[in-house]
Amino acid sequence: MSLTPGEYFLQGNEACVEAALVSGLNFFAGYPITPSTEIAEGLARRLPEVGGAFLQMEDEIACVSAIIGASWGGVKSMTATSGPGLSLMQEAIGYAAMSETPMVIANVMRGGPSTGQPTRASQGDVMATKWGSHGDYQVIAFAPASVQEMFDLTIKAFNYAEKYRVPTFVLSDAEIGHMRGLLNVPSNIKIVNRKEKGVRRTDEAYDVPDDLVPPFPTFGKGNKAAVTGMTHGPDSRIEPEDPKIHQELVSRLNDKITKNRRDINKWDLLCPDSKHMIISYGSASFGAREVAAEDDRIGLLRLKTIWPLPEEPIREAASKAEHILVCEMNMGQLYHDIKRVALEAGCKKIELLPKIGGEPPTPGEVRHKLREMGAI
């Protein structure tokens, strides 16, 4: 049985496991990798209890392949990994985007490149998550910053994966995955189920226009679905040579996400009208949160959705702020995109506090940087 409403004290990765079960996860395929392994281990134990299946695959390519296969069977499916695994998954992620397969990938980030720092936190996979597979496509990614958010945003990830038929990521890191904290499981959790072909729904979750997210032709129901990663027309016939069909398909795959940013983007604001804004996400925001809580000159825009980038709140903050400081646990990945949006909105000074090595930037480091910028 999935968690009943109430208070729990759990590890971040455990919260992810429980959220997946609450969301209706039925199939998980995994390959062990620090610091995500607890998710696979947890689901190996928990999934059979709820009538689902767990499969340990031979590598991460197989993991994504298997969860895509399961998803076409009509069930909610998921895998979990960290950097090196994400690299292996990329081809299949592109396939999921092209075939519009709902699925969730929990990436508990560690320091890269390569094997890097298996046990230390990082946000080095932010760009790889969005751009890692070839071609033009979109994904959805959430960045939890607490055990509670690991739970809440994992549920959101499942819901949005279903709603938009798109691979969706929970991008946490070793810090969040391994921290223990209080989890409050509410009683009214909203779960979105797939809009299946042939099944009419009035569910408000499906206010996306039908032509952007076609209903899902689940296998084994007489749909005769022909699913392919090749360029295909609406009738699923492969048309690899036709420029127009390719343009229409790939544009729609992108539009269904970018045109629905308002629905997908989630964020948190502290001191919204501040002249000195910090923009951060995930565990990189820990130090900034402390600074903003103590100093009311400093505002914080904490992104919970990072893909598609929440341009609206960034624009809003940038239109009022003199300084923007982006805190990330990498050498500057989301920074460049945030800077683009902030510059367009008229903010002139957008700086970066990049932190690599495995620890989130401390409040002291954030203050130091703000002082350097002349913000405080």
Binding site for another protein (CB under 8 A): 26-27, 29, 48, 51, 53-55, 57-59, 61-63, 65-75, 77, 91-92, 95, 217, 219-230, 237-238
Calculate the alpha carbon distances from 246 to 98, 164, 226, 251, 258 in Å: 11, 19, 17, 8, 18
* Smallest distance from another protein to CB 155, Å: 20
Residue 116's Cβ-count burial label (10 Å; 0-12, 13-18, 19+) is middle
Phi, then psi, of 328 in degrees rounded to 5 = -140, 150
240 Ramachandran zone, left/alpha/beta (phi>0; psi -120 to 50): alpha
In whole angstroms, the minimum distance from the beta carbon of 122 to another protein comes to: 28
- The residue among 189 and 227 lying less far from another protein, judged by its C-beta, is 227
**Minimum separation from the CB atom of position 211 to another protein (A):** 23
Question: What 8-state DSSP symbol labels residue 196?
Answer: B
Q: Pick the closer one to another protein by CB: 63 or 277.
A: 63
Work out how close the CB of 157 gets to another protein at its nearest, in angstroms, rounded to a whole number.
18
Q: Whose Cβ is closer to another protein: residue 25's or residue 213's?
A: 25
Give the nearer residue to another protein in terms of CB position, either 207 or 235. 235
67 — phi, psi (to 5°)?
-75, -25
Q: Which is nearer to another protein, 62 or 153 (CB)?
A: 62
Amino acid letter, 156: K
| Smallest distance from another protein to CB 153, Å | 24
Residues 79, 63 contacting (CB under 8 angstroms):
yes
Residue 186 backbone phi and psi in degrees, to 5: -75, 170
CB of 16 to another protein, least distance (A): 20
Tokens, residue 314: 């960034």
CB-nearer residue toward another protein: 67 or 375: 67
What span, in angstroms and rounded, lies between the C-alpha atoms of 75 and 102? Answer: 9
